[in-house]
């Protein structure tokens, strides 16, 4: 039976073989969000790829010029839905740099805790999605359920499960509610116990090893040359982590372990996330133990009337997918003059796609994307 014409179209012949064009986009369950690759294929082998980011066109950076400083806090989390908090912190930190202010110490620790919680939710979704891309749905179901436990805590703290809009210029919106820390510790205990099960059903699974070993190899030099950051960079042997190399929030007070591996392929990247997941739990426990009492925000008046002095600043944070950087320019008014966002998914989603996808089988595309944790809104912003 012929495939629907909107999915598969014969466009040419090469060496007496038909070349078909396939749109691998949001209609495919293995695609990450509203994004697409136009693939030219012979049989099941890809011969050419053309990234198509035109499914979004949300223009985050331009929209930010039209909104008040505080209104953008509700906009920036959408640049990476599964790990939204790093965008809030990077944006607010850039504003605070321009204003020349330092937030209270307790606010720094609360920011750090929520950032690492967001990292956990993103890792859980990423690990589960990678399993599903290989036909292993049990890990996805279990990890989605475990992720909900953290989202419950976010809802209790901020009122929102996905978009938290919790960080503000000068600190955070509110302090931790009574009983919240106890519940967080219980969730962390649960996640630590789950690690053995994660390993058995996913990371020790022979299907995972057979499908991911050697897939999408990135050398140590290429990782730097292509601009990879985060776990993808460290999985290729580069010991760089923004939390250590340029600390922000409360990371300067914590013992952040930078883990590196030398493998550089999809399997190594998957294991990298698994190891960093465990380290993230330890970081949250450190932050809870060291967090001081005190205020959680500066009094900057009515934030809806906030005017940021003329100036510019660049702030960067380490998200679960890599480095998010915000370059913010103020002309002294109530809205940003310019905001430019540097996200971690652009190098992999666009540049590495041109290197890796040709000669790859179509059944490996979703697994390749999952191993690099590509977040499409970060590309089309």
pLDDT digits (tens, 9 = 90+) for 112-137: 999 999 999 999 999 999 999 999 99
- Number of domains the chain is built from: 2
Residue 2 lies in a domain: no
Q: Are residues 48 and 67 in the same domain?
A: no
At 4 the pLDDT is 42
Alpha-carbon 156 to chain mean position: 22
Tokens linked to 4? 């629907």
At 18 the pLDDT is 72
* Lowest mean pLDDT across 15-19, 70-74, 82-86, 376-380: 15-19
pLDDT at 161 over 80: yes
CB 137 within 8 A of CB 71: no
* pLDDT tens-digit series, residues 260-282: 999 999 999 999 999 999 999 99
Residue 155: pLDDT band (50, 70, 90) is very high
The CATH number linked to 203 is: 1.10.645.10
Residue 1 lies in a domain: no
- Domain residue limits at 18: 9-52
Q: Are residues 112 and 172 in the same domain?
A: yes
At 193 the pLDDT is 97
Q: Are residues 116 and 260 in the same domain?
A: yes
Residue 7: pLDDT band (50, 70, 90) is low
Residue 83 to residues 14, 191, 277, 339, Cα–Cα distance (Å): 43, 18, 14, 20
Mean residue pLDDT of the chain comes to: 92
At 1 the pLDDT is 38
Q: Are residues 373 and 237 in the same domain?
A: yes
Q: Are residues 140 and 27 in the same domain?
A: no
pLDDT at 350 over 90: no
User: Helical H runs in the chain?
Assistant: 60-64, 85-99, 105-133, 137-158, 180-198, 206-212, 220-225, 230-234, 242-245, 266-290, 345-346, 353-356, 365-372, 376-379
* Lowest mean pLDDT across 35-49, 275-289, 317-331: 35-49
**Which of the pair, 16 or 98, is modelled with greater confidence?**
98
pLDDT at 348 over 90: no
Residue 299 CB-half CA count within 13 A:
0
Residue 85 lies in a domain: yes
Residue 297: pLDDT band (50, 70, 90) is very high
DSSP class of 361: B
Please give the full DSSP string across 264-319, using - where no structure is assigned.
-SHHHHHHHHHHHHHHHHHHHHHHHHHPPPS-SB---S-GGG--PPSEEEEEEEEE
Q: Are residues 16 and 113 in the same domain?
A: no
Q: Are residues 25 and 97 in the same domain?
A: no
Q: What is the mean pLDDT of residues 328-335?
A: 97
Residue 324 lies in a domain: yes
How many Cβ atoms from other residues are within 10 Å of residue 294's Cβ? 11
Q: Are residues 106 and 16 in the same domain?
A: no
Q: What is the mean pLDDT of residues 242-261?
A: 97
At 11 the pLDDT is 65
Phi/psi-derived region of residue 109, left when phi > 0, alpha when psi is between -120 and 50, beta in every other case: alpha
Q: What is the mean pLDDT of residues 207-234?
A: 96
pLDDT at 3 over 60: no
pLDDT at 364 over 50: yes
Q: Are residues 139 and 161 in the same domain?
A: yes
Residue 10: pLDDT band (50, 70, 90) is low
Phi, psi torsion values for 49, nearest 5 degrees: -135, 140
At 16 the pLDDT is 60
At 2 the pLDDT is 42
At 57 the pLDDT is 63
* Lowest mean pLDDT across 26-35, 43-52, 67-76, 274-283: 26-35
Residue 335 lies in a domain: yes
At 15 the pLDDT is 62
Residue 42 lies in a domain: yes
How far is 373 from 381, CA to CA, in rounded Å? 17
How far is 296 from 109, CA to CA, in rounded Å? 9
CB 321 within 8 A of CB 345: yes
Q: Are residues 44 and 155 in the same domain?
A: no
Q: Are residues 22 and 161 in the same domain?
A: no
Q: Are residues 318 and 235 in the same domain?
A: yes
pLDDT at 65 over 90: yes
Q: What is the mean pLDDT of residues 180-184?
A: 98
Residue 3 lies in a domain: no
* Lowest mean pLDDT across 38-42, 280-284, 302-306: 38-42
pLDDT at 325 over 80: yes
pLDDT at 58 over 90: no
């Amino acid at each position: 039976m012929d495939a629907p014409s909107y999915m598969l179209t014969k466009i040419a012949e090469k060496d007496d073989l038909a070349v078909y064009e396939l749109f691998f986009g949001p209609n495919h369950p293995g695609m990450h969000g509203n994004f697409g690759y136009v693939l030219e294929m012979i049989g099941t082998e890809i011969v050419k790829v053309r990234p198509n980011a035109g499914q979004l066109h949300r223009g985050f950076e331009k929209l930010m010029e039209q909104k008040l400083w505080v209104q953008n806090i509700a906009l920036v989390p959408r640049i990476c839905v599964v790990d939204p908090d790093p965008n809030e912190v990077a944006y607010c930190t850039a504003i605070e740099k321009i204003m020349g202010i330092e937030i209270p110490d307790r606010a720094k620790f609360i920011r750090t805790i929520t950032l690492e919680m967001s990292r956990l939710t993103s890792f859980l979704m990423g690990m589960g999605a990678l399993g599903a891309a290989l036909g292993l749905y049990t890990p996805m179901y279990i990890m989605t359920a475990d992720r909900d436990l953290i989202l419950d805590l976010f809802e209790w703290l901020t009122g929102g499960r996905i978009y938290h809009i919790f960080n503000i210029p000068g600190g955070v919106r509110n302090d931790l509610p009574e009983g919240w820390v106890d519940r967080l510790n219980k969730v962390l205990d649960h996640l630590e116990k789950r690690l053995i099960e994660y390993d058995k059903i996913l990371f020790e699974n022979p299907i995972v090893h057979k499908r991911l070993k050697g897939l999408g190899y990135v050398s140590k030099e290429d990782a730097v040359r292509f601009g990879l950051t985060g776990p993808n960079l460290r999985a290729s042997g580069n010991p760089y982590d923004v939390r250590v190399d340029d600390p922000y929030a409360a990371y300067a007070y914590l013992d952040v372990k930078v883990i590196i591996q030398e493998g550089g392929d999809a399997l190594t990247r998957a294991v990298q996330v698994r190891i960093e997941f465990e380290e993230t739990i330890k970081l949250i426990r450190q932050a809870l133990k060291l967090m001081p009492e005190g205020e959680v925000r500066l009094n900057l008046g009515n934030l809806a009337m906030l005017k940021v002095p003329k100036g510019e600043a660049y702030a960067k944070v380490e998200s679960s997918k890599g480095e998010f950087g915000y370059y913010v320019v103020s002309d002294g008014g109530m809205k940003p003059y310019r905001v430019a966002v540097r996200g971690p998914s652009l190098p992999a989603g666009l540049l590495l796609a041109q290197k890796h996808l040709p000669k790859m089988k179509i059944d490996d595309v979703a697994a390749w994307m999952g191993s690099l944790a590509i977040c499409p809104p970060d590309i089309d912003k």
